[in-house]
Each structure stands twice: as C-alpha cells, then as structure tokens.
Amino acid sequence: MRILVHRSQVELLEGDIVAQDVDALVNAANSSLLGGGGVDGAIHRAAGPELLTECRTLGGCPTGEARLTRGYQLQARFVIHAVGPVYRGHPREAELLAAAHHSSLELASRHQIRSLAFPAISTGAYGYPLDQAAQVALQTVKRYLEAHPEIELVRFVLWGERALTAYQDAAQRILGA
C-alpha cells in the first residue's frame, strides 16, 4: 500500500526489513544498543560485527530516543536505533513510542536521509498492541512529513499478515488511504 503524505510517500508492506534498499533502516533496539532478538538481532547479524563495535561507543540510548550508526554490510547506508517502550498499559507509553519515531525522523532529516524503513517498534517482545502501535507510528510520521518534505519515503516493513493488516487499517483512518 502506498499513500502520499504532503510530498512524501508512505509505504506499508510485509517483508524482511534487512532486505530493504533505503538510505536507513530503523532498528527496534533495546536501550543497550548491543543487539537482541527479533528485528534488532536480524539487523545486527546482517550488518556484521562492525555494527556492534560502533554501538558499543554510543553508551546506550534512553527509551523514546534514537541513535545513528553506519549500515556496514546492509544495503542501507545507516541504521537508526530507536528504543520504544515496553508495554504495560500506561498512557506515557504512547508518548514514548511517538518520541522514538519522531527522534528517528529527526536524525534522518539531520543526516540528509531521504528514505527509511521502520519496523513495528515495540510490538514484538515489548508487547505493544499492534493496532495501538500502528496508530501512534502513522500519526507521528504524518505530522512529521507535513513539515519536512526533505524525507521522500517512509516505508513500514511489517512482519506477518497480522501486522500488515493492523497498519493498513490505521492508515485508512489516519492517512485516508
């Protein structure tokens, strides 16, 4: 699914984030930035050991923020490591999830990154409900793109049909897709 937001494209697809040919991959990272499971582990494995070496120099990352590294063996030139919240049902978690997306987009703008691919941050081991995460992610991206036309493409690469459907449903409500 492709949607035009201001002058930027938002795409939703089911697939493997490490295979994306974009300027930057957004990693659903933990606060240590030292790798983990799911998307985080897949990106670290595909990028090679140099990614972990660079991540060790960053000193971690608080929830709701993001950090930038090189992409090493990935097609993407950069990895943006975004730390989303662990879901416990508190209202502040939506703010932190939005902040993780916003911080990622700000890094992209600051580093002339024109295309980036997001996973469904916090929806795996961190337990954030897909429908709620999709709403937060798409609202944040929409607001950012309306003010920042320098980003040409935001692609959500989702793992499984259930995630894709949740994001498509949210896109219809939020983006008018």
Measured distance CA(28)–CA(81) in Å, rounded: 6
Per-residue pLDDT of the chain (177 residues; tens, 9 = 90+): 777 777 889 999 999 999 999 999 999 999 999 998 899 999 999 999 999 999 999 999 999 999 999 999 999 999 999 999 999 999 899 999 999 999 999 999 999 999 999 999 999 999 999 999 999 999 999 999 999 999 999 999 999 999 999 999 999 999 886
> Rounded to an integer, what distance in angstroms lies between the CA atom of residue 119 and that of residue 155?
9
Residue 28: what pLDDT? Answer: 97
Q: What pLDDT, on the 0 to 100 scale, is given for residue 177? A: 64
Q: Which helix (H) or strand (E) holds 43?
A: helix 38-47
Rounded CA gap, 40 and 19, in Å?
14
CA 177 to CA 175: how far, in whole Å?
A: 5
Please give the CATH topology (third level) of the domain spanning 2-174. Answer: Leucine Aminopeptidase, subunit E; domain 1 (3.40.220)
Q: Residue 141 is which amino acid?
A: V
Q: What is the pLDDT at residue 64?
A: 98
126 touches 38 (CB < 8 A): no
Local structure of 136: helix, strand or coil: helix
pTM, two decimals, is 0.96
Secondary structure E strands in 7-71: 8-14, 24-29, 66-70
Any idea where the domains of the chain sit in the sequence? 2-174
Q: Which of 89, 90, 85 is nearest to 103 (CA)?
A: 85
The residues, ordered by sequence, that sit 6+ positions from 157 with a Cβ below 8 Å of its Cβ are 13, 14, 15, 16, 17, 20, 117, 118, 119
